[in-house]
């Protein structure tokens, strides 16, 4: 059985480019006891892939040169030497950027495709939906009268965060790049307003949009936008550090917030989010997200590109802002 795999060819010096990865075709190995074989149908594209190919560990060790690129995916079990999995089971897990996964079953979780299609388990019911859920409700301690700011608001995490914050009753302002994305953030995902950071100054817009300051900032981008939020905090504000896509290309010289001392006056806090820390609560969170989705209170927007051979170009779309909702590849 031939496996098509995306391998890390070289570490990018600046951004990921067409030379970062190479496609390899190889026989997939035989199964050992405890293994499953998965025909991968969808591969998730994530900004964290940039830190994963950096030469220093961040929250996970670097992907080795020549190794299959780390990636989440969803697919169907086609062979099993593990008692918990049967041929035909739909599963999601860290299967790598490849068409066939063979390895320990421990990386896989069974998914129920009668609740939502397989691809939803990479988006609204996957890592990005869960990051929005736990980031707002646990780390951010969202309250119904909060005034909430969310960056990368048209993206995979952002558009779910906007919708959850709205259904909980909060006032929500998104930040996104471009007029069309901003229109989506307001008209499709329901935010009260959106700042187009590519044509407007976020710092100039915040005083008008947040009288009394920001109660909760869900930060997906870092850098100057984080500084603008820090300059405009309400009492007891919370900043959820979900990620910093604007910083991932220069991880050794991250733009530190020059004004973090602004946390002191309002007794504000800034806290990291890693959804894996909430893993034991995933089933309950998925159930709630699926129920909101089923009754039309939130939508899972996704952008599906075609073909594993396009992996390097599709991944670059995240950094160029060429996606709305969850970006994934159909293998």
Residues of this chain that interact with ligand NAP (CB under 6 A) are 46-48, 127-128, 131, 152, 154-158, 176-178, 181, 220-221, 242-246, 273-275, 318-319, 321, 323, 327
**Nearest to ligand NAP of 84, 288 (CB atom):** 288
Residue 233 Cα to chain centre, angstroms? 25
Residue 15's alpha-carbon distances to 9, 21, 62, 246, in angstroms, are: 14, 12, 16, 11
**Nearest to ligand NAP of 105, 182 (CB atom):** 182
CB of 171 to ligand NAP, least distance (A): 20
CA distance 66 to 105: 23
Please name the residues in contact with 170: beta carbons below 8 A apart, sequence gap of 6 or more. 142, 143, 144, 145, 146, 147, 148, 216
CB atoms within 10 A of CB 169: 12
CB of 20 to ligand NAP, least distance (A): 17
Residue 274, Ramachandran bin (φ over 0: left; ψ between -120 and 50: alpha; else beta): beta
CB of 212 to ligand NAP, least distance (A): 26
CB of 226 to ligand NAP, least distance (A): 10
**Nearest to ligand NAP of 154, 237 (CB atom):** 154
CA distance 1 to 37: 11
Q: Regarding beta strands 326-330 and 35-44, do their DSSP bridges make them parallel or antiparallel, or are they unpaired?
A: antiparallel
**Nearest to ligand NAP of 28, 220 (CB atom):** 220
Cβ-closest position to ligand NAP: 155
CB of 320 to ligand NAP, least distance (A): 7
**Nearest to ligand NAP of 152, 290 (CB atom):** 152
**Nearest to ligand NAP of 38, 185 (CB atom):** 185
CB 282 within 8 A of CB 253: no
Q: Count how many Cα atoms sit within 13 Å of the Cα of residue 123 in the half-sphere of its side chain.
A: 26
CA distance 44 to 74: 8
CB of 300 to ligand NAP, least distance (A): 12
CB of 88 to ligand NAP, least distance (A): 29
**Nearest to ligand NAP of 46, 305 (CB atom):** 46
CB 257 within 8 A of CB 226: yes
And the tokens for 304?
């599906």
CB of 108 to ligand NAP, least distance (A): 19
Biggest alpha carbon–alpha carbon distance for the chain: 62
Burial of residue 297 (CB within 10 Å: 0-12, 13-18, 19+) is: middle
**Nearest to ligand NAP of 203, 234 (CB atom):** 203
**Nearest to ligand NAP of 20, 80 (CB atom):** 20
CB of 97 to ligand NAP, least distance (A): 15
Which residue, 306, 15, 300, is CA-closest to 129? 300
CA distance 75 to 143: 37
């Amino acid at each position: 059985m031939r496996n098509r795999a995306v391998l890390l060819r070289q570490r990018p010096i600046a951004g990921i480019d067409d030379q970062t990865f190479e496609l390899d075709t190889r026989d997939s190995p035989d199964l050992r006891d405890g293994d499953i074989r998965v025909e991968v149908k969808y591969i998730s594209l994530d900004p964290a892939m940039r830190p994963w190919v950096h030469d220093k560990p961040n929250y996970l060790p670097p992907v080795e040169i020549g190794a299959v690129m780390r990636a989440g995916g969803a697919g169907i079990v086609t062979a099993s030497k593990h008692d918990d999995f049967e041929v035909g089971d739909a599963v999601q897990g860290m299967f790598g950027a490849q068409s066939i996964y063979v390895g320990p079953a421990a990386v896989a979780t069974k998914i129920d495709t009668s609740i939502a299609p397989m691809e939803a388990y990479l988006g609204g019911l996957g890592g990005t939906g869960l990051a929005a859920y736990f980031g707002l409700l646990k780390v951010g301690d969202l309250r119904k009268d909060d005034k909430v700011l969310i960056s990368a608001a048209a993206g995979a995490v952002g558009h779910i965060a906007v919708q959850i914050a709205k259904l909980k009753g909060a006032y929500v302002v998104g930040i996104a790049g471009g007029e069309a994305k901003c229109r989506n953030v307001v008209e499709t995902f329901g935010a009260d307003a959106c700042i187009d950071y590519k044509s407007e100054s976020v710092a100039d817009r915040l005083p008008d949009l947040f009288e009394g300051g920001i109660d909760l900032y869900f930060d997906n981008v870092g850098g100057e936008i984080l500084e603008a939020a820090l300059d405009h905090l309400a009492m007891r504000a919370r900043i959820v550090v979900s990620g910093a896509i604007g910083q991932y290309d220069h991880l050794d010289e991250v733009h530190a917030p020059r004004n973090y001392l602004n946390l002191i006056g309002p007794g504000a806090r800034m806290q990291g989010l890693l959804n894996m820390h909430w893993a034991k609560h995933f089933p309950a969170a998925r159930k709630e997200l699926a129920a909101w989705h089923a009754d039309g209170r939130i939508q899972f927007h996704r952008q599906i590109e075609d073909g594993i051979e396009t992996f390097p170009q599709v991944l670059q779309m995240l950094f160029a802002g060429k996606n709305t909702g969850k970006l994934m590849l159909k293998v």
